[in-house]
Amino acid sequence: MTEPVGSAPVNLLGLDAEALARVCAEWGEKPFRARQLMRWVHQRGEDRFSEMTDLAKSFRARLERDAVVRAPAVLRDHVSSDGTRKWLLDVGGGDAVESVFIPETSRGTLCVSTQAGCAVNCRFCSTGKQGFSRNLAVHEIVGQLWWANRCLAPAPGAADLLTERPRPISNVVFMGMGEPLQNYAATLSSLRIMLDDNAYGLSRRRVTVSTSGVVPMIDRLREDCPVALAVSLHAPDDTLRNELVPINRKYPLAELMQACRRYLEKAPRDFITFEYVMLDGVNDSDAQAEALVRLTRDVPCKFNLIPFNPFPESGLRRSSDARVRRFGQLLIDAGIVTTIRKTRGDDIDAACGQLAGEVQDRTRLEERSRRVIPVAEVR
């Protein structure tokens, strides 16, 4: 995929290796120029063509005239007490999306958004309550990684201008605003740029796409660019999942489990990660843990149990710590690797399910939400 190239300057952040080579060829440049350009833009984080000193002057002049390196502008920058950092990024048209950096001892993880808003409208997710505006373009997705690396890494000095900047981000998760597989083409090109050795050189095992369960696109991703896969599960049966994750009405659990098994044939990891937000009295009973064991019996997997991060419109409550531990122990006793996710960045609304940004809803969600049936509690 390539982003449109016309009379307006082309944004190089939106071009994968194939597209960039094609543009360079149109400009009369040899293929190696595309590789040089990718290294300057992505590895060194350079947006000034005048500083790309190993490019021919004529090529730099062409770039100044016909190209830009432009990430979404930062509207706000918040730092949590635990070191988590969240940026609100302007993507135009009154829309803004959020991106989150989570520092840990052994890795740095960036959570990127793929849509302004989200059409899936999961009950426990703040993003979905804003409705949906539009898909992000490739440069707006990759621009989140480009900006974060540039912001977090020390600027190179004059002596090491031609060397790669230190990169604080070792992992990228497509778990921000939006459903990545409903913006498939842009997600795929973004993945290819992030994996490219001339760009960010990330391992397939260190890039995770999280989906609510868009079964046909899971199959396409398996063929096109299999990276680590996380599935937002959140319920052990169709009746409850239909209410919590409405896309389940189109792709029910039996179809989703089959797609997960197929994905593992080419996945870089030998398991699927199931994300499961813990909702008090809704999906956290012993019986539901046992039902999860039965549901996933034929799918090699691990579970991430996520403490629910409340927001006013949800009408839901977080499960107690004791209930979460009990639930997790039941999964562990059944032989399933299970982790209880530590909440990070909740003091700046950067935790799981809290990303909201600013979205011009084009789906009239508020009007449609008046007809939502409350989720029944299970006791």
- Cβ atoms of 61 and 67 within 8 Å: the answer is no
How is residue 146 written in tokens?
């480009």
Q: Which of 140, 301, 352, 358 is catalytic?
A: 352
Contacts of residue 100, Cβ cutoff 8 Å, sequence gap at least 6: 84, 85, 86, 87, 110, 111, 176, 345, 350, 355
Largest separation between any pair of C-alpha atoms in the chain: 72
Q: Which of 3, 98, 140, 275 is catalytic?
A: 98
Cβ burial of 370 (10 Å; 0-12, 13-18, 19+) is exposed
Q: 49 φ, ψ to 5°?
A: -65, -30
How is residue 322 written in tokens?
């004791």
Q: How far apart are CA 151 and CA 134, in angstroms?
A: 26
Long-range (24+ apart) CB contacts under 8 A made by 338-344 are 338/302, 338/303, 338/304, 338/305, 339/302, 339/303, 339/304, 339/305, 340/305, 340/307, 341/304, 341/305, 341/306, 341/307, 343/307, 343/309, 344/80, 344/82, 344/84, 344/102
What are the Cα distances from residue 206, in Å, to 202, 273, 328?
A: 7, 13, 25
Q: How far from the centroid of its chain's Cα atoms is residue 167's Cα?
A: 18
**Residue 180 DSSP label:** G
Give the angle subtended at the CA of 58 by the CAs of 57 and 60, to the nearest 5°. Answer: 65
98 is catalytic: yes
352 is catalytic: yes
Cβ burial of 323 (10 Å; 0-12, 13-18, 19+) is middle
Cα R_g (the chain), whole angstroms: 21
Q: Which residues are catalytic?
A: 98, 352
